[in-house]
Chain A
């Protein structure tokens, strides 16, 4: 890795360094996440992250860019996304404008009185001008290749793109190079750290999966979730924090359509903070349940269980407190 010393990846020295680094920018990592990030750098392979919505897939890429202080280039995928939007496009307008200017100056350029052959010869000198880098509109993928100190390239929701686009990505992801027919192949001096995310709308192709490290981020355990909420909403009281995380954890065990993920827990913590709640009670929960659950049927399904859930959340927290000896806040 000695030749990487001039890049922005120096901080990626060990798994623990990754965990700490991500921690310093407010991303609570797990061992498997840190391992994947470290390996991605070591093996120069992209990471494909799968998992339910809102567990911090996109956030991992953003946190990495913050931590390593590298630019993040984000490519949001959607049906119909093509090379023109992902890789590069010619600046047609500018080309057109220059053509117009050239047309007016044509006589000056060619010089009056020249014969046809010499005129053409002079004209052909300009030909390459129109297909040079100055007319190239660089899109995220190409921009990422051109970063001198490396970058974080986030290809978000790859499962929403078409199969053709997936195939097109293969060259970019395995060789870190892109081919522009008029100019040639542009190879990245320092390959970007690539993160692909997928919500499993469709099964991804084997070819793509083979080129990636696979990371599955599921719902967090109670301990990690507490840390995450704490990092995101520092003002929340320790007691409330334990209760609300316990409640959300209990909620995930129920048979509901869309289970609340971390982003919902964080939103809920903010909501409770706004309402100046300092302990969970059933009425509060009932009023704010729509922050956590996004389907009417889910809310209806949970209603009868509320009492039990709230009670067990506060109980489990009470015992957890004495056992682990949290410092008393407030």
Chain B
């Protein structure tokens, strides 16, 4: 398969378009049918074979434009031969080991084709397609200059400066101009290569880093990235959990449905129907402590849960610090950021009392909790030495399918000071320390999996 195509596929892979080897082979077959001659056809062809969703299509088109924009100028058999064109080609060939005869002549010749060809050749020699980070642009540009014969030019420049004659001065200026020009071209080419091969991977690296970073340490700049990440996580979890699977209970005959299914054949059971168990839809009741220390975590949990509406159609969220109240409507009617602000203003001001929260829950919302529901408590369990009302909490957990407590504090400080974590722990199905987006994802994933 030719190099142009494999490199393009590599660029796609680095930008999160998953191209399997099978698809790569298909692409080569498709191109062999269609040919490289027509750009639009080539784009449609590759998009059809390689990109498998609307988003991937966008990435593909973007990369296609970047990647194939530099190609026409560089292919040797386009634009038939002026003398300079021939020269450029020869230079290019000669530069296998040695730099082209004279970079200065080339740069000042004004022959775009030849210059582009030399730049392209240098890019190949410098291994430009290995570029990964934007900080490498300068390095690769330097390498390309070297490959094009920058050293010799440097020598010329020094000679000219040493001569100290007006003509030499003049020449030195010209060389410096030419060098600047070539350097710019090399830089542009390197930046373009970074857009194609490196940008996707750099993004992935940043994303990876952000999912592992402690949520409390995130600052304002990270918020937009986090939102995109959460949307991605939500999509992943939805795909994984949104399908209702029937479990076939082989061995348990469903007599009624079997009889009905075989009524047409005189009741002789050709088709046997087995009893099926339907899996419950997840029902989640999220109870969030929105006092200052935990508020940041609440943002992410709620954002994630609300992005999951495919997989979790039945979601109720409550916020409390002193008094507890439902926040579903606020979140539904407003955009996320203003909604959070509203919630903080309404519920975030009081002094935290877990006991009060449970009693509010019991008075107003007890009926929501049934044997299908999962209670998620997000809080640090610091109740300002008030009565934790473990009796009410126990009652709630007994009504529910399971109770998961997510705590932003590490295990070592549970129970220290006014933390009531250890007193609540016996009643929880699980109690875990949540510090990063990864932890949050795992916790929600496990909850959804428990409904399978």
User: Interface on A for B, CB 8 Å cutoff?
Assistant: 15, 31-32, 35-36, 39, 42-43, 45, 48, 50, 92-93, 96, 163, 202-203, 206, 209-210, 213-216, 218
Q: Which residues of B contact A210 (CB under 8 A)?
A: 20, 22-23, 52
Quote the shortest CB–CB distance from B48 to chain A (angstroms). Answer: 5
Contacts A/B (CB < 8 Å), 7 sampled: A15-B41, A35-B41, A36-B44, A39-B45, A202-B239, A206-B18, A214-B53
Q: Write the nearest CB–CB distance from A19 to chain B, whole angstroms.
A: 12
B40 proximity list for chain A (CB < 8 A): 31
Q: Evaluate contact between B22 and A32: CB separation under 8 angstroms.
A: no
Q: How far is the CB of A38 from chain B (nearest CB, A)?
A: 8
Asked if B48 and A214 make an inter-chain contact with CB atoms under 8 angstroms apart, the answer reads: yes
Q: Quick one: given A92-B270, A202-B242, A202-B243, are A39 and B265 in contact (CB under 8 Å)?
A: no
Q: Which of B252-295 contact A (CB under 8 A)?
A: 264-266, 268, 270
**Complex Cα–Cα for A216 and B47 (A):** 10
Complex interface: chain A residues within 8 A of B41 (CB)? 15, 31, 35
Q: Within 8 Å CB of A202, what residues of B? A: 239, 242-243
- Report Cα–Cα, A45/B20, bound state, in Å: 16
Which A-B residue pairs are the 5 nearest by beta carbons? A35-B44, A209-B52, A32-B44, A42-B33, A203-B239
Number of interface residues of B (CB under 8 A): 29
Smallest Cβ distance from A99 to chain B, in angstroms? Answer: 10
Inter-subunit contact B268/A96 (CB<8 Å) = yes
State the CA gap A73–B41 with chains docked (Å). Answer: 30
Majority DSSP secondary structure for residues of A touching B: helix
How distant is the Cα of A275 from the Cα of B47 in the complex, in angstroms? 43
CB pair A213 B54 closer than 8 Å:
no
Q: Does B51 belong to the interface (CB within 8 Å)?
A: yes
List residues of chain A with CB within 8 A of the CB of B146: none
Q: Residue B29 at the A interface, CB < 8 A?
A: yes
B residues adjacent to A (C-beta < 8 A): 18, 20, 22-23, 26, 29-30, 33-34, 40-41, 44-45, 47-49, 51-54, 57, 239, 242-243, 264-266, 268, 270
Cα–Cα distance between A36 and B49 once the two chains are bound (Å): 9
* Contacting residues, chain B, for A31 (C-beta < 8 A): 40-41, 44
In contact, B49 and A93 (Cβ under 8 angstroms): no
CA distance A206 to B18 in the complex (A): 10
- Find out whether the CB atom of A216 lies under 8 angstroms from the CB atom of B44: no
Let me know if B33 and A43 touch, CB within 8 A: yes
Q: 19 additional contacts, CB 8 Å, given A36-B48, A93-B265, A216-B53?
A: A31-B41, A31-B44, A36-B44, A39-B30, A39-B33, A43-B26, A43-B33, A48-B52, A50-B53, A92-B270, A93-B264, A96-B265, A96-B266, A209-B52, A210-B52, A214-B47, A214-B49, A214-B51, A216-B54
Give complex CA distance A215, B33 in Å. 18
B313 smallest CB distance to A (angstroms)? 14
Q: Which residues of B contact A42 (CB under 8 A)?
A: 30, 33
By a CB distance below 8 angstroms, the chain B residues around A43 are 26, 29-30, 33, 49
* Contact residues in B for A36 (Cβ distance below 8 Å): 44, 48
CA distance A294 to B47 in the complex (A): 33
What chain A residues lie within 8 Å of B33 (beta carbons)?
Answer: 39, 42-43
**Distance of A194 Cα from B48 Cα, bound (Å):** 15
Residues of chain A within 8 A of B30, CB atoms compared: 39, 42-43
Of B48, B242, B268, B270, the residue contacting A32 (CB under 8 A) is B48
CA gap between A163 and B23 in the complex, in Å: 22
Cβ A35 vs Cβ B265 within 8 A: no
Q: Is the CB of A35 within 8 A of B54?
A: no
Known interface pairs A43-B29, A45-B26, A92-B270; A213-B49 also in contact (CB < 8 Å): yes
Of all chain B residues, the one with the shortest Cβ separation from A36 is B48
Does A50 lie within 8 Å of B54, measured CB to CB? yes
Alpha-carbon distance A20/B29, docked complex (angstroms): 25
Which chain A positions have C-beta within 8 A of B239? 202-203
- B48 and A213 contacting across the interface, CB-CB below 8 Å: yes
- Residues of chain A within 8 A (CB-CB) of B20 are 210
B45 in contact with A35 (CB, 8 Å): yes
Q: How far is the CA of A151 from the CA of B19 in the complex (A)?
A: 30
CA distance A299 to B20 in the complex (A): 45
Residues in B with CB closer than 8 Å to A215 are 48
Instruction: Report the minimal beta-carbon distance from B199 to chain A, rounded to whole angstroms.
Output: 23
User: Whose C-beta in chain B lies nearest to the C-beta of A45?
Assistant: B26
State the Cβ distance, B361 to closest chain A Cβ, in Å.
Answer: 33
Q: Name which residue of chain A comes closest to B19, CB basis.
A: A210
A203, B265: Cα distance in complex, Å: 39
Check B49 against A39 for contact (C-beta < 8 Å).
Answer: yes
In chain A, what residue has the closest Cβ to B32? Answer: A42
Q: Report chain A residues within 8 Å CB of B270.
A: 92
- CB pair B47–A32 under 8 Å, yes or no, is yes
Contact (Cβ within 8 A) A92 B265: yes
Distance (Å) between the CB of A217 and the closest chain B CB? Answer: 10
User: A206–B44 Cα gap in the complex (Å)?
Assistant: 21
Set of chain B residues within 8 Å of A214, measured between Cβ atoms? 47-49, 51-53, 57
A215 to B50 Cα, complex, angstroms: 11
Q: How far is the CA of A134 from the CA of B203 in the complex (A)?
A: 60
| Nearest B-chain residue to A35, judged by Cβ | B44
A154 to B249 alpha-carbon distance, docked (Å): 33
Q: Which residues of A contact B45 (CB under 8 A)?
A: 35, 39
- Tell me the complex Cα distance, A56–B347, Å: 50
CA distance A36 to B47 in the complex (A): 9
Within the complex, the shortest CB–CB distance from B53 to chain A, in Å, comes to 7
User: Min CB distance, B21 to chain A, in Å?
Assistant: 10
Q: Say how far A297's CB is from chain B's closest CB, in angstroms.
A: 13
CB pair B57 A216 closer than 8 Å: yes
Q: Which residues of B contact A93 (CB under 8 A)?
A: 264-265
Q: Which residues of A contact B54 (CB under 8 A)?
A: 50, 216, 218
Q: Which A residue sits closest to B29, measured CB to CB? A: A43
Measured CA separation A214–B48 after assembly (Å): 5
Residue of B nearest to A213 (CB): B48
Q: How far is the CA of A36 from the CA of B29 in the complex (A)?
A: 14
Give B270's nearest chain A residue, CB to CB.
A92
User: Nearest Cβ in chain A — how far from B244, in angstroms?
Assistant: 9
Report B448 CB to chain A, min CB distance, Å.
15
Task: Give Cα distance in the complex from A16 to B173, angstroms.
Answer: 56
A205 to B330 CA separation, bound complex (whole angstroms):
36
- Give bound CA distance, A216 to B53, whole Å: 8
In whole Å, how far is B423's beta carbon from the nearest beta carbon of chain A?
Answer: 43
Residues of B within 8 A of A216 (CB): 53-54, 57
Q: Are A35 and B48 in contact (CB under 8 A)?
A: yes
- List A contacts of B22 (CB < 8 A): 210
B44 to chain A: which residues have CB within 8 Å? Answer: 31-32, 35-36
Closest to B310 in A: A202
Q: Give chain B nearest CB distance to A284 CB in angstroms.
A: 34
Q: Which A residues are CB-close (under 8 A) to B47?
A: 32, 214
Chain B residues with CB under 8 Å of A35's CB are 34, 41, 44-45, 48
